[in-house]
Amino acid sequence: MMLNTGGVRVPEGANSLGAFRFVFRDLMDAKVRGLQVLSLVTQQCYGGGSMLAAVSDGVLVNAQSQISMSGPRLIQALNQYVEGDDVTTDQVRLVLSGKSRAATSDRFQLVEDDAEGYRRGIQRLLSSSDNLGPSINQSLLNLERRFAENGVIPSDRFTAKESIHPSIDKSKFGCGNSWSVRASLFTQDTQVGSATAAYALVTDSFADAESIYDLVKAIDALPNSISNINIFIDCPSHSPSLIDETLILSEYLATLALGVRLKHLSGVNVHVLVIGSSGGGIFAALSAAASRMSMLSAGSVQVLPRAALRAMRRPDENLITTKQLLESGAVDDMLEDLSSVLS
């Protein structure tokens, strides 16, 4: 794949979300069936494009290539607006560069920015004996090591929200050690032999690399007796933090999507439900991977959260209606309440 993209266009709203859902889902299914996926990024690759790169078995980049979930302008604006960190454009672009990506992840291969460099890089990837990328288990180990390798200390964990949703009794969820400073991951207490597992990813802010890692690790560890997984989402978007981009956030999101999709393809019914707000990479990853994507009628989905638009001084032009979400295929159905799911 040639991936030079600025990401989905915000004004296209539901159509962009629906189109990416189908493209990403089909790519993951083909990869699981054994298709070797190689990508080339000669310029910039932001948003969903970086998730496509992150499920590739190999990605050729040059030193000036830019790869990230959020574009440099958004990262800089949000870090100043939310984090209070005054990061420069040069600092952001250095983190997102092909040179930095290749130093962080074996998936990215640095080549010279000319035809001969790309030709040799493609030949090297095609001739590699280890050309189908790491397994989910190996990916999880790589992502876990990356926290320490990049000097990211796991946060003091705490609950970000006292309640998940009025329809959900929080007491039914066991709050162990799986929630990060940015988002809370509630894991349902299940009886031995139960056929259903449930998770709720909820946050007033954004889903960071740590909370995404927690979720995919928990799902991957489920016993084979589980035949149904419910994932409740109230999370406006992925994190635009420069720290999370240092870790290559798109690889965390892609691993989550692929891990959930593997459960679906193995016969597990994976039902993702938007119970509050959702959008960005977290919605893209889970909607593509799910067996069924639902949303409460009181919920909302957007391409970018309002905080991101405000930080970039852009109008809130991405209001998406229920009808648009259904017609585009971004979601499969609407629910008035959770009674049918929690019964």
* Long-range CB contacts (within 8 A, 24+) of 162-168: 164/200, 164/202, 164/232, 164/234, 164/275, 165/200, 165/232, 165/234, 165/275, 165/276, 165/338, 167/275, 167/337, 167/338, 167/339, 167/342, 168/200, 168/232, 168/275, 168/338, 168/342
> Of 274, 244, 251, whose CA–CA distance to 82 is shortest?
244
> Of 325, 288, 331, whose CA–CA distance to 27 is shortest?
288
Q: Looking at residue 247, what is its pLDDT?
A: 94
pLDDT confidence tier of residue 201, bands split at 50, 70 and 90: confident
Query: What contacts 266, CB < 8 A, 6 or more positions away?
Result: none
201 or 265, higher pLDDT: 265
pLDDT exceeds 80 at position 222: yes
pLDDT exceeds 50 at position 93: yes
Tell me the sheet residues that pair with 168.
165
Q: Looking at residue 190, what is its pLDDT?
A: 52
pLDDT averaged over the chain?
83
Q: Over range 223-232, report the average pLDDT.
A: 89
Q: What domains can you pick out in the chain, each with its CATH number?
A: 10-134 (3.90.226.10), 170-342 (3.90.226.10)
Instruction: Give dist(CA 43, CA 56) in Å, integer.
Output: 17
Q: How many CA atoms lie within 13 A of 266 on its CB side?
A: 16
pLDDT exceeds 70 at position 226: yes
Q: Over range 125-138, report the average pLDDT.
A: 74
21 and 329 Cβ atoms separated by less than 8 Å: yes
213 or 157, higher pLDDT: 213
Query: What contacts 230, CB < 8 A, 6 or more positions away?
Result: 196, 197, 198, 199, 271, 273, 341
| φ/ψ of residue 342, rounded to 5 | -90, -5
Quote the tokens at residue 334.
Answer: 């609407």
